[in-house]
Amino acid sequence: MDTNERRERLRDDLVAAARGAIERAGLSSLKARELAAEAGCAVGAIYNVFPDLDALVLAVNAGTLERFESFVAGRREPEASPEQALTGLADAYLDFAAANPHLWRALFQHRLPDGKSVPDWYLAAQARLFAHVEAPLGRLCPGLGAGERALLARTLFSATHGMVALGLDEKLVPIPLETLRAQLATVVSAMARGLAQGNALKHA
């Protein structure tokens, strides 16, 4: 087998092992030793492929973002009204988070040490996600400029994220999933109606 091929295979095995570990028990359960055991290599070998564990986590998170993006893309209904589309997105977000709690948490939990910043390809993956929100938002509020639309998309994403994150959190009183889904629908569609109305007034 070619050396590069081996190296790539190990890389994939390590990412898979890391993903598995996070999936099972959360980001904080990621241990270099267990990882190596799972991927069938020595601890030291990890550092031939990745500079450190942070880079590995970043790779896992990139994969999660990607899977989430195709999950959302797979649910798109081109016929839907903007309001329905936004509600559908929130619903997809809830379903993905509920189905992959640890992987999803890891996206937000993981912080790089002070000096280092998130690589561009990671930011690009985020941007691709936000695009799914921008599309219906543009139809809902046609008067919005590109910058305003991007900003508002991010804000709507954040609001949805908050509802899902605290809703799934067992720290407060736990809420049944379907109750949470109904709450999301109520609030997101209210936002959509209110935004459309505000936009119509502004550009009347």
Partner DNA sequence: TGTACATCAGTGAACGCGCGTTCACTGATGTAC
How far is residue 103's CA from residue 157's CA, in Å, rounded to a whole number? 18
Q: Among 53, 80, 185, 196, which residue interacts with DNA (rule: CB under 7 A)?
A: 53
Indicate whether 81 belongs to the interface with its own copies (CB under 8 A). Answer: no
Indicate whether 99 belongs to the interface with its own copies (CB under 8 A). Answer: no
Look at residue 203 and give the partner it binds from DNA, its own copies, none, a contact being a CB closer than 5 to 8 Å depending on partner kind: none
Cβ proximity of 81 and 53 under 8 Å: no
What's 111's DSSP letter?
Answer: -
- Residue with smaller CB distance to DNA, 10 or 159: 10
Distances in Å between the alpha carbon of 55 and those of 35, 117, 142, 184? 14, 11, 40, 34
Helix, strand, coil percent values for the chain (each to nearest 5): 80, 0, 20
Of 93, 105, 101, 98, the closest CA to residue 68 belongs to 93
Which residue has 């007034």 as its token pair?
Answer: 201
Q: Among 17, 18, 22, 49, which residue interacts with DNA (rule: CB under 7 A)?
A: 49
Indicate whether 57 belongs to the interface with its own copies (CB under 8 A). Answer: no
- Residue with smaller CB distance to DNA, 49 or 94: 49
Report residue 72 CA to chain centroid gap. Answer: 10
Indicate whether 16 belongs to the interface with DNA (CB under 7 A). Answer: no
Q: Considering only residues 115-174, where is the footprint of its own copies by CB under 8 A? A: 118, 126, 151-152, 154-163, 165-167, 171-172
Taking the complex as a whole, the smallest distance from the CB of residue 45 to DNA amounts, in Å, to 4
Cβ proximity of 128 and 69 under 8 Å: yes
Q: Among 7, 111, 202, 203, which residue interacts with DNA (rule: CB under 7 A)?
A: 7
Q: Considering only residues 18-37, where is the footprint of DNA by CB under 7 A? A: 30-33
Contact residues: its own copies, CB under 8 A:
111, 118, 126, 151-152, 154-163, 165-167, 171-172, 175, 179, 183-184, 186-187, 189-195, 197-198
